[in-house]
Amino acid sequence: MSDDIVFLAEFADGQAARSALELAAGAAELAGQSGGAPVALAYGAGARAGAAALGAAGAARVIVLGDDPAPAITFAARAAAAVQQAEPLGLLAPATPNGRDLAAALVGLLELPAFGPVRTARVEGGALRTEQATLQGTVITVSQPADGAPRPAVILVLANTFTPSDGGSGEAEVADAPAADAGAFGKAKVVESHPAEAAVTNLEEATVIVAGGRGVGSEEGFGPLHDLAAALGGAVGASRAAADAGWVPYQLQIGQTGKVVKPALYLSAGISGAIQHRVGMQSAEHVVAINKDPDAPIGEFADLFVVGDLFAIVPKLTEEIKRRKGT
Amino acid sequence: MKIVVCIKQVPATTAEKRYTADFRLDRAAAESVINPLDEYAIEQALRLVESGAVETVAYLSMGPEQAGEALRRALAMGGDEAYLVTDGALAGADEWATAKVLAAALDKLAPDVALMGMASDDARGSLVPGAVAALRGMPLLSYGSELTIHDGNARIRRLTATGYDLIEAPLPVVASVTDQVGEPRYASLKGIMAARKKPLETWALDDLGLSAGSLRGAALTQVVEAKPPEAKPPTERIENVSADEAAAKVADWLAARKLI
Ligand SMILES: Cc1cc2nc3c(=O)[nH]c(=O)nc-3n(C[C@H](O)[C@H](O)[C@H](O)COP(=O)(O)OP(=O)(O)OC[C@H]3O[C@@H](n4cnc5c(N)ncnc54)[C@H](O)[C@@H]3O)c2cc1C
Ligand SMILES: Nc1ncnc2c1ncn2[C@@H]1O[C@H](COP(=O)(O)O)[C@@H](O)[C@H]1O
């Protein structure tokens, strides 16, 4: 048994994902509280070459699970082999589809307690504690592993919970995970890959999001929102209604079945604020909503609620911001 | 070809929720529904029947006795039979215990595809599908925006950072689908009538070769506190002004918070 905090570090296209850098900072913070070391489990394209560099993000050691671009869950058996012996206190996984797949496989393979998705985790008196918003955010539950539960406790962590740092020791010690057959998980193969023609932003990384909904009316209607996002230095997001209509790609959907975001500013136009949308954006630091319906639900939880026509207000706001910025 | 769709009964999204003294959701107090995301899994299974790829659809749920209502509602949408695992020892089950029980029940039912929703409304971990696949030693095809079956293989379309992948695995598999598979159908009156005559079997832990002891109190996790979320400051409103004035006021508000 150890007081180490292990984290899943995903690589893609030769680079550590933003989630890997955030979780490195998180693992370093929790390991500081537990008296253990932050240890990365690195996987995906570029993981071996980039492993040592995770030291700068906070990792003391990196265990490489593999560096082929296979589905994340393919690395589950090696991840299990890597943590089985060490029995670290906790394992942080990004609350992304890939991170959840790998975390879920570990919960099944090693029969582990699981928590999350969370925005708060800490070690208190040697025990891991998490805070999770449950039931559409109506309640916060504080949880910990049951007495005598196997280790590690698996914790799903939402994007933007921890802030990447470059205060680590520099180079991390790198080792390969013990060999293990991928088993049945290895039988799922990518048979076709279709990247998008146009670039799609990762909303989880955006500090400003301008989100549009059904009220935007069409793909062209998103034009003024793109202009506003550009003026603010941000990205465009959407409700499911707008993604379902095909006005924006699904990668830009915010909510229960889309991205869960935490920007400094979330500004919506033509979004009513359904509960399934709200759970994806309620952690934003500042929420501004433009809606022509004075009784729209989003008016109850926005910080600033503007009642009016988005087509009249959004272009004027873009002009005003450009003028003040002197651009 | 047989699909078993795993469905969970959850409190309705808009229902008033209450907690028991030991921080469990008071399931008797809330109006209950089929987990909305599981309706998409049901829809996907029924579409596979209509396309001729699948012959039998069964439903499986673990929960209190009243979860039988969710299974009846699923049967009213379509499908053939349902199974409810209910046992006093399962109250407060966490994702691990849920996966253990569903895996044992699925081993007994031996479907070609065990199909799940992408997440449950109340737990929201999206962990049960992967944990069940691990416990059963089967491939996982998760987060499908579409599921197809041909030549002994199951295939999903899954979103990637910018586009999508097609991922395939030989049957039998554990799979989960998202709300992009297509809007779930409503139960017709005829469907509701027919559902009453469809078989619904109830199993206890014994029937699955499991015991309360092997499930360690049904949870490896423990809730130690439940509290309301932090109260939000009141909303400021801008209304009954011209678009020019609204734009200027919003810009002032943003500037005051150093957002521009
Ligand atoms: C299982 C499940 C999962 C879901 N997951 C998600 C999710 O992840 N994300 C998500 O967003 N939704 C999700 N939904 C859907 C959600 O319930 C709502 O249907 C959806 O969010 C509504 O989108 P909207 O606000 O754009 O549209 P609407 O609710 O139709 O609202 C449009 C708003 O635009 C306003 N408007 C119209 N014209 C103008 C104008 N000219 N100027 C200003 N305002 C205008 C209207 O007053 C209205 O308030 C999910 C639903 C289910 C059942
Ligand atoms: N108690 C349960 N009974 C049947 N299926 C369940 C149960 N809990 C979870 N599932 C299935 O697992 C999926 C993911 O749930 P979760 O891991 O809790 O987010 C759900 O959409 C269901 O298909």
The dihedrals phi and psi of B167, each to the nearest 5 degrees, come to -120, 135
Amino acid letter, residue A310: L
- Ligand 1 neighbours (beta carbon < 6 A): A 213-215, 239-242, 253-258, 270-272, 274, 276-277, 280, 290-293, 296, 309-311; B 36-37, 179
Establish whether residue B127 lines the binding site of ligand 2, counting it when its CB lies within 6 angstroms of any ligand atom: yes
Q: Which tens digits make up the pLDDT trace of A215-247?
A: 999 999 999 999 999 999 999 999 999 999 999
Angstrom distances, CA of residue A28 to CA of A82, A169, A207, A258: 19, 11, 23, 29
Sheet hosting strand A189-194, strand order edge to edge = A189-194, B164-170, B153-159, B146-150
Q: Which amino acid makes up residue B256? A: A
- Torsion angle in degrees (nearest 10) through CA of A19, A22, A26, A27: 60
Angle ∠(A102,B2,A258) on CA atoms, nearest 5:
40
Q: With cut-offs at 50, 70 and 90, classify the pLDDT of residue A196.
A: confident
Tell me how far apart the alpha carbons of residues B145 and B156 are, in angstroms, rounded to a whole number. 7
Is the CB of residue A122 less than 8 Å from the CB of residue A162?
A: no
Chain B residues with beta carbon closer than 8 angstroms to that of A265: 254, 259
Cis peptide leading into B234, omega within 30 of 0? no
Q: Is the pLDDT of residue B152 over 70?
A: yes
pLDDT at A185 over 90: yes
Q: CB-based burial of residue B206 (10 Å sphere; 0-12 exposed, 13-18 middle, 19+ buried)?
A: exposed
Q: Quote the CA–CA distance of B126 and B119 in Å, as a whole number.
A: 4
pLDDT digits (tens, 9 = 90+) for A269-311: 999 999 999 999 999 999 999 999 999 999 999 999 999 999 9
Ramachandran assignment for A273, one of left (phi > 0), alpha (psi -120 to 50 degrees), beta (any other):
left
**Nearest CA of chain A to the CA of B216: how many Å?**
9
What angle, 0 to 180 degrees and rounded to 10, lies between the N-to-C axes of helices B67-77 and B36-50?
Answer: 30
Q: How many CB pairs under 8 A join A and B?
A: 272
Asked if omega into A152 is within 30° of 0 (cis), the reply is: yes
The strand pair at B164-170 and B153-159 is best described as antiparallel
pTM, two decimal places = 0.96
C-beta atoms of A321 and B225 within 8 A: no
Q: Could you read off the pLDDT of A3-31 as tens digits, one per residue? A: 999 999 999 989 999 999 999 999 999 99
| Per-residue H/E/C for chain A | CCCCEEEEEEEECCEECHHHHHHHHHHHHHHHHHCCCEEEEEEECCHHHHHHHHHHHCCCEEEEEECCCCCHHHHHHHHHHHHHHHCCCEEEEECCHHHHHHHHHHHHHHCCCEEEEECEEEEECCEEEEEEEECCCCEEEEEEECCCCCCCEEEEECCCCCCCCCCCCCCCEEEECCCCCCHHHHHCEEEEEECCCCCCCCHHHCCEEEEECHHHCCCHHHHHHHHHHHHHCCEEEECHHHHHCCCCCHHHEECCCCECCCCCEEEEECCCCCHHHHHHHCCCCEEEEEECCCCCHHHHCCCEEEECCHHHHHHHHHHHHHHHHCC
Q: Give the residue whose CA is nearest to atom 6 of ligand 2.
A: B8
B160–A185 C-beta distance less than 8 A: no
**pLDDT single digits (tens) B10-68:** 988 766 556 666 666 665 656 899 999 999 999 999 999 999 999 999 999 999 999 99
Task: Determine contact, residues B22/B104, Cβ cutoff 8 Å.
Answer: no
What are the pLDDT digits (tens) for A36-73? 999 999 999 999 999 999 999 999 999 999 999 899 99
Candidates A91, A128, A143: best to mutate against B (most CBs of B within 10 A) is A143
